[in-house]
Homo-oligomer: A and B are copies of this chain.
Amino acid sequence: MTPASRTPAAPPAPPLRERKKQRTRQTLIDTALTLFTRRGFGSVTLDELCAEVEVSKRTFFRYFTSKEDVALAPLHDVWRAYQGELAARLDALRATGDAADAVRTTGSDGPQTLLHLMRDALLAALDRTAADTDWTRRALLSHRLAERTPSMVAHGLHFCERTTGDVLELLHGALVLDGPDDPRPRFAGEMLLSAHRHALATWSARAGADPEPAPADVPDEAQLAALVRESVAALADGLALTATPRRTG
């Protein structure tokens, strides 16, 4: 923090101005999560939040599109990273022209399923995002908050939907498909979403129900990653599940 401290081994050292922006953004997110968690999403006004962070409301809206947006930022970040990861993988695929060796994360047999390609991109995104200091804690708070805040659910679903839409454009540019209306990649994308949401819910439920967990009580992203894998694997079972009536007892 001292002005004279030289950055030990920083990459290209981000332009000083950018730092402040990121710092305000992070502060907004953190105080928002704290306040919302403590007193409920609906009971905290933006004016309060802004006063707390000492930022004008106008400025808040230059960082986030809505009150819900700031509360969901940690979760949204994953999806942004996912989009990037997937784009990179698709480029690699097109370059080598071979699905099998383009993606090193799988020592698989034959060309990969799109769903698995997406899953791996998501896992990589998770890994990258979670590299940030205590992302998991924030993500947990974010998700817990969403569980009891309908408008956050709506906002989150919509965000995912938009991301899926963007991803679909990438896919249609990079893969051989049955025309621009082929529903299969969309289905795959939405299934991944389902799986991810379930993984997140399970992850959150497994952690202690502490409303403001200490850093130590927060489950790590490895557990989440494992749950994502499980969930994706379970998708096919969901499709094939037969309806066995329960005996009334």
Interface residues, chain A, with chain B CB atoms under 8 Å away:
90, 93-94, 96-99, 102, 110-115, 117, 150, 153-155, 157-158, 161, 173-176, 181, 183-188, 190-191, 194-195, 198, 202, 205, 231, 234-248
Contact = CB atoms under 8 A, between A and B. Distances in A.
A49 to B, nearest CB: 22
Contacts of A240: 113
Q: Copies of this chain, how many?
A: 2
B117 A231 contact: no
Given A112-B243, A157-B154, A157-B158, A248 B99 contact: no
Chain B CB count within 10 A is highest, among A98, A155, A246, for A246
Contacts of A117: 243
A146 to B, nearest CB: 11
Nearest to A176: B244
A188 B245 contact: no
Contacts of A245: 90, 93-94, 96-99, 102, 174-176
Pairs A-B, 10 closest by C-beta atoms:
A187-B238, A154-B158, A157-B157, A184-B238, A93-B245, A176-B244, A114-B243, A190-B194, A154-B154, A184-B241
